[in-house]
A and B are shown apart, each in its own frame.
Chain A
Amino acid sequence: MTAWSYYIATLTVYFGVNVLSGLSLNLQFGYAGVVNFGYIIFQSVGAYIAAVVVLGPSSGTFQQYVFGAHLPFGVALLLATAAGAVLSLLIGLFSLRNIRRDYQAAILLIISLIATQVVQGYVPLFNGSNGVTGIPRPLFSTLPVSLQGYQWAYAGWVLALAAIVYVLVRWLSRSPWGRALRAMRDQEDAAAALGLNVTALRLQVFVIGGAIAGLSGGLLVEYIGAWSPDAWGYAETFVIFTAIFVGGLGNYAGVVLGVLLVPILFLELPRFLPQVGYPGLMDSIEWIAIGAIWMLCLYVRPQGLFPERRNRARRPAAGPLAEPRPEQVGAV
């Protein structure tokens, strides 16, 4: 039974981390229409920063990295959050200009691919392809609990943080600022004509999402204890995107459901199926299925299982995936 308890606690941690990712992407894409196809690099900068600031100064022999220090894990999490925000600000400043949305998305995707190559190629930064490892678990030796108890305590800690962020993000998106985001998403020209600074709004939502991404990376790395470029391939971003597609864009309960269905249930279930073919075949099939679900969602139900709840009557066509048609723009 202990193995099961351990496994489920681990899944709970992953669930909490993925909920954070889903909230971040849903705020950016579901509410503001900003397509962050480089999401995973903001999560991984948080993970790297949280790792190196607790690992101590780099010895240079076993593993090389920058910013080595012995900071408490709470400070490391704050720094991870800040790192996600700062990197988002830097990348957002030049990629969020007023350009076509498909260009913008492609550029963020390309940045994600390039970032992986840079971290792999430039070893002194974060130890190249091998990645950083041996990150101590927060308070592992000080807490008076068993290994089992520690697992569950950490899972609870992640869930608590995810819940706080959930409430915070929901509050934000119901505020006047959140309404401005939706106005920008549905009718950008009209929103700009009303005096909203759409570029600033996009940058704000990008930085807030990046901060949440950094936090999620920090939480994840403090649990698994290692981080390397293998953990953050560009395709990881699409798992979260598929989750929020399935759950429902612009609906936070839908995000939680989507995360439960896609990254947890869907990607974990194959472990319990009999092994098919050569080792690794199941992984390929999972990714094919992710792509297929993604395409199916776009074809059948772009609004997800739980669509965004509308405050007032609106044209049903509006939503994050429906671009206004030219004739509508012309009518504004």
Chain B
Amino acid sequence: MGSTLVSAIGFGVVLASIIAVAAMGFTIQFGLTNVLNLSFGAVMTVAAFSAYLANEHGVGGWSGLAVGGLAGAVLTLVLGRGIFKPYARRGAHLFEMMMVTLGLSLVINYAIQAISHNNIYQFAVLPSRPFQLGSILITHTQLVIVFISAAVLVALESLLRLTKIGRALRAMAADPELARACGIRTGRIVVLTWLLSGFLCGMAGVVYIINTQSVGYTTGQLFLPLVVAAAILGGAGSPLGAVLASLIMGIVTEVVAAFGSDAYSTVAGFGILVLVLLSRPGSVRGGQSGHTQLTL
């Protein structure tokens, strides 16, 4: 009983670390641009497939993370500049933009389905034998994933709190008009946001498939609800909040899975979503008119 609980929490932390990398990317993007980007999962899948292909051509191991991160960063910037911005110019607001990202996610996901022949591919690049850590049976890979996630958190929080760019990012998230009036080059900051959040998104895709050891066209799409819920629960724009929310969600999911069944663990995820709604009326309120504006 006790050891089951401890090992379930251990798995929860691993799951949380994977969610957290994606949720940190999502929350940075969402907090600054206000685009509720439902194509985030599709970009994760593209990055995961890039890492898979790189691995097939001899760029294996942990450097797959860099490959996936770069793919995610480039794709996110291209989408942000080439698709989201033109729609915003034509007068799309928050809601229309979300519809655009949804259509885009259909296009990307099914394009991957077409290209991948709807197959699931093995991605066993880092086979490592599980070992006993206390009462938790864990692999080296999973341990590294937890460290990567923690490192990303530290790097991101220090970027936001300690550097000039970070201050500019936070200022723009709070009030883009005022930030521009203060001489911050808002266009550059938006480009930086696309690149940064895209890099994290891509990395998350690769981390995810390193753990599951397989990649298919639904990889990112199935993961998206967890990421969006963690970002909303943690508060838009806060990496630390996203990580804490991911920890709650990861641990609850795994503990319920250990003591109940997988079906119940999804219901627990559902329960957390309700909690998100009830706990954050302040940040999600705004009616239809909404005074929040897109920043692109």
Contact = CB atoms under 8 A, between A and B. Distances in A.
Contacts of A33: 288
Contacts of B270: 111, 114, 118
A274 interface: no
Interface string A95-110: 1011111110111011
Contact of B98 (A105, A118, A290, A299): A105
Interface in B2-60: 36, 38
Contact of B103 (A110, A295, A322): A295
A99 B114 contact: no
A95 B90 CA distance: 30
B41 to A, nearest CB: 10
Interface residues of B, number: 59
A117 interface: yes
A33 B289 CA distance: 12
A101 B288 contact: yes
Nearest to A288: B110
Given A94-B274, A280-B118, A122 B263 contact: yes
B130 to A, nearest CB: 25
B106 A110 contact: no
Interface in A17-52: 33, 35, 37
Interface stretch (A1-9, A253-261, A323-331): A323-331
A291 interface: yes
Interface in A229-248: 235, 238
Nearest to A332: B289
A103 B287 contact: no
A305 interface: no
Contacts of B266: 114, 117-118, 121
Contacts of A35: 95
A284 interface: yes
A287 B113 CA distance: 10
Interface size class of A (residues with CB under 8 A): 35 or more
Interface in B64-96: 83, 86-87, 90-96
B189 interface: no
A114 B103 contact: no
Nearest to B262: A121
Main secondary structure, interface of B, reads helix
Interface in A62-113: 94-95, 97-103, 105-107, 109-111, 113
Nearest to A100: B286
B99 A298 contact: yes
A111 B109 CA distance: 19
A284 B94 contact: no
Nearest to A116: B266
A323 B93 contact: yes
B290 A100 contact: yes
Interface in A276-317: 278, 280-281, 284-285, 287-288, 290-292, 294-295, 298-299, 302
A107 B273 contact: yes
B96 A298 contact: yes
A106 B100 contact: no
Given A110-B229, A278-B117, 14 more contacts: A100-B95, A101-B95, A101-B290, A103-B284, A105-B95, A105-B98, A114-B267, A118-B266, A284-B113, A284-B114, A288-B111, A291-B103, A292-B107, A298-B96
Interface of A: 33, 35, 37, 94-95, 97-103, 105-107, 109-111, 113-114, 117-118, 120-122, 185, 188-189, 235, 238, 278, 280-281, 284-285, 287-288, 290-292, 294-295, 298-299, 302, 321-324, 326, 329
9 contacts: A99-B277, A100-B286, A109-B38, A238-B102, A281-B114, A288-B106, A291-B104, A295-B100, A295-B104
